[in-house]
Amino acid sequence: MLIYQSHIILKADILKSGEKKIFSFKMLIYQSHIILKADILKSGEKKIFSFKMLIYQSHIILKADILKSGEKKIFSFKMLIYQSHIILKADILKSGEKKIFSFKMLIYQSHIILKADILKSGEKKIFSFKMLIYQSHIILKADILKSGEKKIFSFKMLIYQSHIILKADILKSGEKKIFSFKMLIYQSHIILKADILKSGEKKIFSFKMLIYQSHIILKADILKSGEKKIFSFKMLIYQSHIILKADILKSGEKKIFSFKMLIYQSHIILKADILKSGEKKIFSFKMLIYQSHIILKADILKSGEKKIFSFKMLIYQSHIILKADILKSGEKKIFSFKMLIYQSHIILKADILKSGEKKIFSFKMLIYQSHIILKADILKSGEKKIFSFKMLIYQSHIILKADILKSGDLEQVLLESDAEDIDNVLESFESSEDSEFSLDKFLPRIDQCFSADTVEGIIDNLKADSSEWSKIVLENLHKMSPSSLKITKEALDRGKNLTLEECLKMEFRLVWRACDRSSDFYEGVRALLVDKDLNPKWNPQSLAEVSDKYVKSKFEALAPKNELELR
C-alpha cells in the first residue's frame, strides 16, 4: 500500500506459474469521492467492479457499480449515523427493479443489531437476522421466511466462558443437520453455496477465506466428531491468498478472549488471546498503526459497569490511531462525526453534544502531497474559530504547532482553491506570532546529558539529572540492546565527519551485519513480533560486556562483492 499525490494505492497481484496479473485494485480520493477500483485482468478483460464512498449531510454513502460491457449499476448502499444508530441501507437495482435488499445495523444498550429485509416486488420479508452482544455473548440469529413458511435456517454465534460457538440448524420437516458453506464471486454474481452433512453428526467447524482467480471463497472444513475444543483464529495473507484459519485449543478451558489484528511482512493476522477463566468483563478496543502494523486490541473492563464509548482518531509518527474511551456510567452524551473528502482532502468533523449544548469541538484532517495537517477548531456558542494546529515529528518527538488564525473563512477559501494552492492559503491565515518549539525546555538537559563520549557516560549524566524527563529516557534506554546502543553511538560519532556517500556505505555495513543470525536484531524481532513476550535476551547482556573490539568489528569493510555500490 502506498500513498502518492493524494492517492492511496493498494495493489494485489495473484500469480500462479507465470500467469499474468489477475487482480489489482487501488483506492484514491478525488473530489469528495473515495474510489476503490478493482480490475480483474484475464487476457484483456475490462474492469468488472468499482465503487466509491462519499459523505453528504452526515450520510456515509457507498456506491458500488458492477460494470460488465455496459450494464447499469447493480448495487449501492449507504451508511449513516443518527442518534447513536448506525444504519446501513442497501439497494440492489437491476434495470428499474424495485429495492431487493436493505438492512440496518444499530447499537442500543450494548446490543449490536443487524436487521436485513429482502424484498422482491411486494413479497414479504425473506431473510432477517440480528447480531447482539449481551453479557459477553455474541449472538447472530437468522430467520429465513418465505410467504408464511416456518423458519428454514437459523444460526447463532455466541461467546460464553471463552467458548465461541457457531450453531447452525437446517430445519426441513424435522431434520437436524450442521452445514458448511462457501461464498464466491464470479462474473458479478455473489454465490452462497451450502453443503449439508449427514444427519446426526456432531462436529465443530473451521473455515478459511481466500482469493483465487478473482473468486472470494469462504470454505468450511468440518473437524472430527466428538471433540470438545475452543477455537482461536487468525486471518493472514500469504502468496496472494487471504486465509482465515481456525485453531482449536485444548478442551475444558474456561476463558474470555481478546483479539488483535496486525500486519507483519504482508500478513494480516487476527489473533485471539484467551484470558483467565471466570471473569465477566465488557470490552473496549483501539486500532492503531505502529511500524507498519495495524493493531486491533480488545481490552476487557471490570464486570458490571455500564458505559458508553466514544472514540477519537489521531495521527502520531505517521500512525493512525483509533482509540475507544469508555465514559462514566449514567452520562448521556451523543457523539457524531462526518468525514468529507474534497480535492484530495480528508475532512473529519466531530461534534460532541451534551444535553442540548451547541457544538464544542470539531476538527478536520487534510492530506496534501504527503503532508498530514490536523486542524482543530474550537467553537463556543457562535465564537469564531480560535486555533488550528498540526503535528510534526522531529527525531521521535511530537512537535505541536499552534497557529492563531486571522479572521475569515478558511474552510471556504480552501474549498474554492486548487490543490496546488493549499500551502499558500494556509500560510495566509497563519498568525505572525512564532510558535514555541516544544523541545525548547528540554534542550539544555539534552545537550548536557548526551554530550558524554560514551554510552556509560550518557547513562551517568541522566541518573545525575534525576528529572522526570531523564527517568523516562533512562527507562527506555534500559530496554534497548546494549550492543545496539554502543554501535549507534559509534555510528553517530563517525557519521558527523563523513560525506553522504561514506555514511551510506557505513550504514549498509551495519545493516548487513545486523541481519546476521547472531545479532540482537533477531532477538528483538522475536520478543516484539513473534513470541510477543517483550522479554528479549540480549547478548551481551550489559554495556560492560560490549567490548570496543566488538563494536569496531561491525564497521569493518565487507567482502568486495558485498560492498554497497553507488551509481
Q: What is the pLDDT of residues 105-160, one digit of tens each?
A: 333 332 333 344 433 334 333 333 333 333 323 333 444 333 333 333 333 333 23
Q: What phi and psi values does residue 532 have, to the nearest 5 degrees?
A: 60, 30
Q: What does the pLDDT look like over 359-409, one tens digit per residue?
A: 333 334 333 333 334 444 433 333 333 333 333 333 333 333 333 334 345
pLDDT-based confidence at residue 416 (cuts at 50, 70, 90): low
The strand pair at 153-160 and 137-144 is best described as unpaired
- Residue closest to 307 by CA, chosen among 330, 285, 287: 330
Instruction: Count CB-CB contacts under 10 A for residue 388.
Output: 23
Q: Choose between 337 and 520: higher pLDDT.
A: 520
Q: Are 113 and 130 spatial neighbours (Cβ–Cβ below 8 Å)?
A: yes
Planar angle of CA 521, 522, 527, nearest 5 degrees: 100
Q: Looking at this protein, which amino acid is placed at residue 80?
A: L
Planar angle of CA 278, 283, 285, nearest 5 degrees: 140
- Residue closest to 31 by CA, chosen among 60, 6, 63: 6
Radius of gyration of the chain (CA): 28
CA–CA distances in Å: residue 164 to residues 268, 370, 405, 524: 21, 43, 53, 33
Q: What does the pLDDT look like over 227-261, one tens digit per residue?
A: 333 333 332 222 222 233 333 333 333 333 333 32
Q: What phi and psi values does residue 172 have, to the nearest 5 degrees?
A: -140, 110
Distance CA 502, CA 551 (A): 18
CA–CA distances in Å: residue 106 to residues 41, 86, 92: 38, 5, 21
Region 514-533 average pLDDT: 84
Q: Choose between 552 and 327: higher pLDDT.
A: 552
Cβ-Cβ contacts under 8 Å for 108 (sequence gap 6 or more): 84, 85
Query: What would the grid cell of residue 493 be?
Result: 560519532
In the numeric block, the cell 410467504 is attached to 147
Q: Looking at this protein, which amino acid is placed at residue 85?
A: H
| Global pTM value | 0.32
Distance CA 409, CA 147 (A): 57
Lowest mean pLDDT across 186-195, 426-435, 464-473, 478-487: 186-195
Cβ-Cβ contacts under 8 Å for 225 (sequence gap 6 or more): 201, 202, 203
CB < 8 Å & 24+ apart, contacts of 122-128? 123/147, 124/148
Average pLDDT, the chain: 48
Region 551-564 average pLDDT: 93
Whole-number pLDDT of residue 506: 94
Distance CA 282, CA 303 (A): 7
Whole-number pLDDT of residue 515: 87
Instruction: Count CB-CB contacts under 10 A for residue 330.
Output: 8
Q: Where are the domains of the chain?
A: 480-562
Q: Across-strand partners of 113? A: 106
Q: What does the pLDDT look like over 434-473, one tens digit per residue?
A: 445 567 788 888 889 999 999 999 999 999 998 888 888 8
- Residue closest to 342 by CA, chosen among 408, 409, 422: 422
Helix 500-514 vs helix 482-495: crossing angle, to nearest 10 = 170
pLDDT-based confidence at residue 426 (cuts at 50, 70, 90): low
Q: What phi and psi values does residue 191 have, to the nearest 5 degrees?
A: -115, 125
Query: What would the grid cell of residue 412 be?
Result: 471556504
Distance CA 417, CA 275 (A): 53
Q: Are 166 and 154 spatial neighbours (Cβ–Cβ below 8 Å)?
A: no
Query: What would the grid cell of residue 50 be?
Result: 468499482
- Residue closest to 115 by CA, chosen among 127, 100, 129: 129
Q: Looking at this protein, which amino acid is placed at residue 25?
A: F
Q: Are 50 and 67 spatial neighbours (Cβ–Cβ below 8 Å)?
A: yes
Whole-number pLDDT of residue 344: 29
Q: How many CA atoms are closer than 13 Å to the CA of 488, on its beta-carbon side?
A: 10
DSSP 500-524: HHHHHHHHHHHHHHHTSTTSHHHHH
Whole-number pLDDT of residue 500: 86
Lowest mean pLDDT across 23-32, 262-271, 326-335: 262-271
Distance CA 320, CA 286 (A): 11
